[in-house]
Amino acid sequence: MTRTHVSATVNGDPAEFLSDPGTTLLDALRDELGLTGAKEGCGSGDCGACSVIVDGRLVCACLMLAAEAEGRRIETIEGMADGSTLHPLQRQFLEHAALQCGFCTPGMLVATKALLDANPDPTESETRYWLAGNLCRCTGYDKVIRAVMDAAAELRQVRV
């Protein structure tokens, strides 16, 4: 079986890998590129644990074929911090204790980044509906939403 050669930009750096026809972007990120931050929670696009941003758009990596990543710009959780400096979202999650087991956290953070890129001043309701595709079984979402609202406020200050 011939494997497809894929070239893409991942977290700002060029990346290449080989994929089978059925390999998902999630499989490729985890198994070929060693970026295990995105997680498989369901494999059917229902839990959001595999959330990544592709050409600026929030996507479930398990629903995208690896071959479709050709030429695209992909952002994963591993690219969120600036070197050793955590992104305000990451920091607010920790300050608010907005994670317990931490499994949904990478997907939750990526999805939230996509929200704030699109809407820097979301209401609680907008935030909840945006994150409805990111399942969390541990927190009940309360502290997650608070962390996002505070991070949004902090980022708005920085922009001003």
Residues near other proteins (CB under 8 A), total: 57
- Tell me whether residue 52 or residue 71 sits nearer to other proteins (CB atom): 52
The dihedral over CA atoms of 61, 67, 23, 40, expressed in degrees to the nearest 10, equals: -10
Distance of alpha carbon 132 from alpha carbon 12, whole angstroms: 28
Note the residue count of the chain. 160
The dihedral over CA atoms of 35, 38, 40, 44, expressed in degrees to the nearest 10, equals: -120
Instruction: Please identify, among the stretches 66-74, 115-123, 133-141, 152-160, the one whose residues bind other proteins according to the rule CB under 8 A.
Output: 133-141
Single residue of 16, 56, 94, 123 touching other proteins by CB under 8 A: 94
Single residue of 143, 150, 152, 155 touching other proteins by CB under 8 A: 143
- Tell me whether residue 71 or residue 137 sits nearer to other proteins (CB atom): 137
Of the candidates 134, 5, 3, 15, the residue with the CA atom closest to the CA atom of residue 74: 15
Residues 42-81 that bind other proteins (CB under 8 A): 42-44, 46-47, 49, 76-78, 80-81
